[in-house]
Amino acid sequence: MKSSYEQSKNGWNPRLKKRELLNDREMKYLIMFTKEDDIPVSFISFKFDVEENMRDEFDYVVYCYEVQISQKFRSLGLGSFMMNLIEELGRAWLMEKLMLTVFTFNNRAISFYENIGFEIDPISPNYPTNKSTYEGEDYQIMSKLLD
């Protein structure tokens, strides 16, 4: 997590990240542990929220804030499994979309999200109709409809 933020325009701020992760009462967490020695190997943080769309209306969404998987446990399906869990939670709570923010330089994550059905959301700074307004942003917003 830290290395991605260090590459970003805003840099790494441990206090801010800690506050984001721990002080939001609406934030939910799923943490996976190894069966043998009970070591955490992945976590996902998310919350149910309302996001304004390009029609000046609001969508009920599940917003994924973090997906982190230990290096040793990547490419084993944990990311897909965890994203599927919050997708199903979103459907159960009648949310319209699953949304997330990803750094534009994180090609592996972008490819992963595209492979599981995410697209650049119309509110993203790098959506074709927004590019001139938000030029230079190092993140994009992706979403997947939950029907």
What is the per-residue pLDDT for 25? 86
CB-count exposure of residue 75 (10 Å: 0-12, 13-18, 19+):
exposed
What is the per-residue pLDDT for 14? 64
Share in percent of the chain as helix, strand, coil (round to 5): 30, 30, 40
Q: What is the domain count for the chain? A: 1
Check which CATH number belongs to the domain holding 94 and give it: 3.40.630.30
What is the per-residue pLDDT for 33? 94
Single pTM value for the model? 0.81
Q: What does the pLDDT profile of the chain (147 residues) look like in tens digits?
A: 545 545 555 555 667 756 766 777 899 999 999 999 999 999 999 999 998 887 888 999 999 999 989 999 999 999 999 999 999 999 999 999 999 999 998 899 999 999 999 999 998 988 877 665 556 778 899 999 998
Domain span at residue 118 reads 2-145
What is the per-residue pLDDT for 11? 56
What is the per-residue pLDDT for 22? 72
